[in-house]
Chains A and B, each alone.
Chain A
Amino acid sequence: MPKIIVEIMPKQDLLDPQGKAVANSLHREGKKEITAVRIGKRIELHFDREITDQDLEMAKDQAANFLSNDVIEDVIAITKED
């Protein structure tokens, strides 16, 4: 199924409480080599036809204006998968 995948991460300098809690748990399990964990989002936009350049443009627009909030998040990647 053709899809566009949008990946979003909380901004580097913002506290990521989910990531911090998971990192603490990993450390408790002895995985001390992991220095930090950060948790973001992967959003899939599904299509029932081939994805066009226009679709990608639309996804880029939605990623910037709706799927993420640039005050607190960064869009890391927008990729097409057939």
Chain B
Amino acid sequence: MKIGVITYPGTLDDRDAQRAIRLAGGTPVPLWHDDDDLKKVDAVVLPGGFSYGDYLRCGAIAAKAPATKEVIRLAAKGLPVLGICNGFQVLVESHLLPGGLIRNEKQHFICRDQKLRVENNETAWTSLFEKDQEILIPLKNGEGGYIATDDTLKMLEQENRIAFRYVENNPNGSMNDIAGITNERGNVVGLMPHPEHAVEAGFGPDTPTAMRSGIDGLLFFESVLKMVVNS
């Protein structure tokens, strides 16, 4: 199963995302922002970083890249797409997901392990989680405050399109404690925290069991691989 990872100028976490895919049992395929050939991948990850230096707005220029345009086209046909951090910003700027992301409420860049609740386990990227399962993965961003109009928030709540909510504390002022959302079909998911940084014991967040043993992020990638195999 091939999962593409797009590298834009300024992307930082593409290698980590590729590694997470490998550890989950998939084959990562590096994709280049300037190439609209997605190499027949079964799913795509838009990784974190600062694409195009965050110029204009975070994710705005990446949303117009040839590779992204192809992602937009194929997402409409059901291609699973996961946007992590800057990738989430690209997804909202591409209008694959509604709303926007603004500077953190307290103006600080925040880097810490963050507890989330899986609100929707029926998406391409969350099917192996239990509903309401609490997970711990790293969060690191400066512009992660999710905002949307009242109508959009209502729609997201009613249609069960909030994929993840922050638990215990809301790090960035996101409306309704939103950490991640999905599209109507459930194939496109975006979130600010980083599942690809919690995939291997020894390198993940601390857990009550052992230091750095958290691997909750692995299930994102295993979920999509399971779905692709079954389809």
- Which one of B100-108, B111-119, B130-138 is at the interface? B100-108
Q: Is the interface of A mostly helix, strand, loop or mixed?
A: loop
* Count of chain B residues with a beta carbon within 8 Å of a chain A beta carbon: 15
B148 touches A71 (CB 8 A): yes
A25 to B107, CA, bound (A): 17
Contacting residues of chain A (10-32) with chain B, CB-CB under 8 angstroms: 14-15, 17
The reply to whether A69 and B148 form a contact with Cβ atoms under 8 Å apart is no
Is the beta-carbon distance between B60 and A71 smaller than 8 angstroms? Answer: no
User: Which residues of A are found within 8 Å of B15, using beta-carbon distances?
Assistant: none
- The answer to whether B30 has its CB under 8 Å from any CB of chain A is no
The size bracket of the interface on A is under 10
Which A residues touch B147, using CB under 8 A?
A: 14, 71-72
- Residues in A whose Cβ lies below 8 Å from that of B57: 69, 72
Contacts of A66 in B (CB 8 A): 56, 60, 64
A-contacting residues of B (Cβ < 8 Å)? 56-57, 60, 64, 92-93, 99-100, 102-103, 105, 107, 147-149
Nearest 6 pairs of A and B residues by beta carbon: A71-B100, A72-B100, A17-B107, A17-B103, A69-B57, A72-B102
